[in-house]
Structure 1
Amino acid sequence: MALFNDRIALYRAPLIDDAYGPVRDWDQAQKYWEGIGAALPYRRAYKPDAATRETSRTRITVYLPGAVDFDSADRLLIRGEWWESDGDPWPWRLGSRHYTQLYAKKVSK
């Protein structure tokens, strides 16, 4: 597919226990997949009412080739920026080709 021109890396962090229960230790995250995919904006940046919040959210749709073992707690590194998963992945086919589609979000101030 011609749109597959973004280098994407997927990272998974182990669970550790802290005072509040199990949390992801992102200092110990490991890259478990890297390849070429497509990261496409599917919604313009969303900025809530300034009186209530000072952040904006950017969301993208990511397409990965093949069946990727993606977990909703994993993070993505795309074009040097970190993204968080926004839900579970969705496997789909286009003819004989297999893809994994997922949504990701980035929150910034």
Structure 2
Amino acid sequence: MWCGLASVQPERSFESRSPERETAQERLLVYLPWGTPVDAPDRLLVNGLWFEVDGEPMRWNHGSLRHVRVRAWRVTN
């Protein structure tokens, strides 16, 4: 398990309403330091909320801005 600082940016949020169920989905882009061990089945704790990793993390290894970009999402109902 890794713990540390990251840049967290909102990607998008939306709600789906129906008589049976009301849900909200929140998506984030998370920029982690280069070398952070994160994979598709992992979860991220951001400000006390758990987010699922959406897809494979993108490892950016070019130039001076080396980082790992992760798309993260959570659904609430």
Same fold (TM over 0.5): yes
Q: How far does residue 39 in structure 1 lie from its aligned partner after superposition?
A: 1.0
1:50 pairs with 2:18? yes
The letter of the residue matching 1:37 is A
The letter of the residue matching 1:55 is T
SS in 1 for 2:7: strand
Runs of 4+ off more than 4 Å: none
- Percent of residue pairs bearing the same amino acid type: 36
Match of 1:65 in 2: 33
Any idea what the Cα deviations from partners look like across 1:40-98, whole Å, max 9, x if unmatched? 1011x211242564211100000001122211111111111111111110011462231
Match of 1:95 in 2: 63
Over the residues paired in the alignment, what is the CA RMSD in angstroms?
1.6
SS in 1 for 2:39: coil
Separation (CA, whole Å) in 2 of partners of 1:58 and 1:71: 19
* Residue 77 of structure 1, aligned match among 45, 48, 66: 45
Q: Which runs of 5+ in 2 are unaligned?
A: none
Separation (CA, whole Å) in 2 of partners of 1:77 and 1:69: 14
Q: How many residues align?
A: 77
Q: Which runs of 5+ in 1 are unaligned?
A: 1-31
- When normalised by structure 1's length, the TM-score is 0.63
RCO comparison, higher one (Cα < 8 Å, 6+): 2
